[in-house]
Amino acid sequence: MVSTFAYKPGDHEAEKASNGYLMSLIAVIAGLPLPIINLIATFIFYLGNRKGTYFVRWHCTQALLSQFSLLAMNSVGFWWTVSIVFKDVEISNQYISYMITVFLFNLIEFIATIYTAIQTRKGIHISWWFYGDLTNAIVRK
Partner 1 sequence: MEKLFLKLFIIVAIFFATLWCLRQVDWMTLFNVKKISQSTEEKLGELYWDIYRKMEHETEDKKITVPIDSLLTRICMKNEIDRAKVKLHIIRKDDINAFALPDHHLVLFTGLIEDCENEAELCGVIAHEMAHMENGHIMKKLIKEVGLSILISMTSGNASQDIAQNAIKVLSSTAYDRNLESDADITGADYLMKADIDPEAFAGFLYRMSSREKDYPKQLFWISTHPGSEERTKAIINYISDKNYQKKMVLDSTQWAQLLLSVKED
Minimum distance from residue 51 beta carbon to partner 1 (Å)? 26
Out of 30, 101, 115, 122, which residue is the one contacting partner 1 (CB under 8 A)? 101
Minimum distance from residue 129 beta carbon to partner 1 (Å)? 7
Q: Where does residue 84 rank: exposed (0-12), middle (13-18), buried (19+ CB within 10 A)?
A: middle
Q: Give yes or no for residue 97 binding partner 1 (CB under 8 A).
A: yes
Contact 65, 44 (CB under 8 A): no
Instruction: Provide the CB-side half-sphere exposure for 69 (13 A, CA).
Output: 12
Minimum distance from residue 117 beta carbon to partner 1 (Å)? 21
| 3 state SS of 40 | helix
Q: Give yes or no for residue 69 binding partner 1 (CB under 8 A).
A: yes
Considering beta carbons, is residue 3 or 69 the nearer one to partner 1?
69
Considering beta carbons, is residue 45 or 58 the nearer one to partner 1?
58
CA distances in angstroms from 6 to 17, 110, 135, listed in the order given:
15, 27, 14
Out of 1, 85, 140, 141, which residue is the one contacting partner 1 (CB under 8 A)? 85
Q: Where does residue 132 rank: exposed (0-12), middle (13-18), buried (19+ CB within 10 A)?
A: middle
Residues of this chain that bind partner 1 (CB under 8 A): 69, 73, 85-86, 88, 90-94, 96-98, 100-101, 104-105, 129-130, 133-134, 137
